[in-house]
Structure 1
């Protein structure tokens, strides 16, 4: 089984990604660490604990960074709602799963104790991951790969060129890309392409977890699903589970941290302009129809007795 740490800021699309990751038998998810991002750290941590109760999973949850390294918080409540989880009525938080250790210390404990390489899948701002790599540089060799939903090969969604997860903490993203750890970037452009359509959400409605995903996405980003729902974090999850769905290309990536015009931009150098060694694998395309089918299959394969009593508040 592949050992995995999930670092996340739940978040509607985070929940849609975590649901399939936790129900993949080839993965051993050892920790969910939370970071401020879509909403504040108290909300993201509580959302992870409530989601685990809904999914009937017992995964330790660690509370992480409450703010970016150097900047003020900027939340995405316009897209995710005040709590971060739209209007879906989750059960109470499973607080017994919350660790005494903070996220960085708990991540380090797991990494330093393991004999096997560990994959980190990062679905939010990279503050926790940067702190881990800076505070405990000796454990970098224990990290097989960081798969991150973040960045863009084109324009952004917060600012002109900034993608949200990178833009919220660009200094952290810069540290991670410069860390020497193998990185796969599943960027904004992939999530914009890999969309679920209204009929796909309808197909999920007959299943308890599918209903949760469908209800969340119907309240996501203002509730407009006429052009499909952008699958940002689920794209990173499906890259881990089904990499054959994606086309990739190596590149050197750096992050702009000073220019007011391009702050948070991920500068993706495919052509060797900067004469720097490649430091990331970039997802450049996705088989959209296969992506939709595989995501639906994975959700509908989750055992149906999960959270049968949970309802939508809409």
Structure 2
């Protein structure tokens, strides 16, 4: 089986930890590099969280330090949801910095893309700052990128503001660069994460999946949704699901433009599903039961692969 070469941009964050864990042990994926960026919490935390996760999982994927702030705007934070360090609920053993490759994220991603014998897939599960810098600094790399898979954006109302989803609102200018890149883009929007939840019974199954399951159970149990919803919503892993099991989703083509100037709508994702100039495929529905079964099974495989 030919594996998909993958670069992950991430801001862990609890659901990012789950998405990376699944990706690192997925048979169909060959994770070439992880680029922690600012996002849910500050870069110093997202970087250490990524290092700590790899130590816990016994993996050795290179890590490159990403952006510490958006392209233009002040950074925002989701520490109220994920905890001060981004991963409330579980205490990892602190890792050293040996997996960090020195250099700018855009340049190191460029090197991976140019060396690859296959087109590389990019997965963005945080603000898209580093992908935007890559596209601007190395525009010829676009020819060697298979697609971009994003967890972010929103069809209706947002979770950062009434009209904006957090990952896009964090760096709207970067998101605009990515959506205007001309690359094939698949999007797992906020609404899919809202629907792709797991029940308490399913969480119990996750907890029973060895140390990986216990780790994820502990963290997801500490998520505090701003709207008070008691369901365990699974956001960033929906992007991994698009890569590994796209048949779980229903997709529709849309033209996505990012609002940059609105007083009340900055960061909003304007999705036009009737445009003849589509630039993305949007997951508009997901089989909730199939997703939950896949998620539990993926955690089991990760725990088995870690040993």
Quick check: 1:228 aligned with 2:262? no
Once the two structures are superposed, the pairs formed by residues 1-314 of structure 1 within 5 Å of their partners are 1-206=3-208, 207-221=210-224, 227-272=230-275, 277-304=277-304, 306=306
In the TM superposition, residue 115 of structure 1 has moved relative to its aligned partner by 2.4
Is the 8 Å Cα contact of residues 194 and 235 (structure 1) preserved in structure 2?
Answer: yes
Distance 2:282 2:113 in 1: 25
> With structure 1 as the length reference, what TM-score do the two structures score?
0.94
Query: Post-superposition shift, 1:271?
Result: 1.1
Q: Compared with structure 1, are the counterparts of its residues 224 and 297 closer, same or farther at alpha carbon in structure 2 (3 Å cutoff)?
A: farther
Tell me the SS of whatever aligns to 1:87.
Answer: coil
Q: How many residue pairs are counted as aligned between the two chains?
A: 304
Query: 1:90 aligns to what SS in structure 2?
Result: coil
SS of the aligned residue for 1:54 comes to helix
**How big is the shift at 1:225?**
8.5
Aligned Cα root-mean-square deviation (Å): 1.6
Q: 1:6 to 1:20 in 2, by over 3 A?
A: same
Shift of 1:92: 1.5
Partner Cα separation in structure 2 for residue 303 and residue 42 of structure 1: 27
CA contact (8 A) 2:8 2:34 kept: yes
CA distance, structure 2, for counterparts of residue 100 and residue 150 of structure 1: 28
Classify the secondary structure of the residue corresponding to 2:224.
helix
**What is the CA distance between 1:26 and its match in structure 2?**
1.8
TM-score (normalised: structure 2): 0.96
The Cα offsets for residues 228-277 of structure 1, whole Å up to 9 and x where unpaired, read as 111110111111110010000111110000011111110000012xxx51
Q: What's the secondary structure of 1:119's corresponding residue?
A: strand
Paired residues of 1:208 and 1:304 also in contact (CA < 8 A) = no
Question: Is the partner of 1:86 in helix, strand or coil?
Answer: coil
SS in 1 for 2:191: helix
* Partners of 2:153 and 2:190 within 8 A in 1: yes
Cα shift readout 1:214-234 (whole Å, capped 9, x = no counterpart)? 101011126999631111101
Whole-angstrom CA distance in 1 between matches of 2:244 and 2:228 = 26
Q: Which residue is 1:310 aligned to? A: none
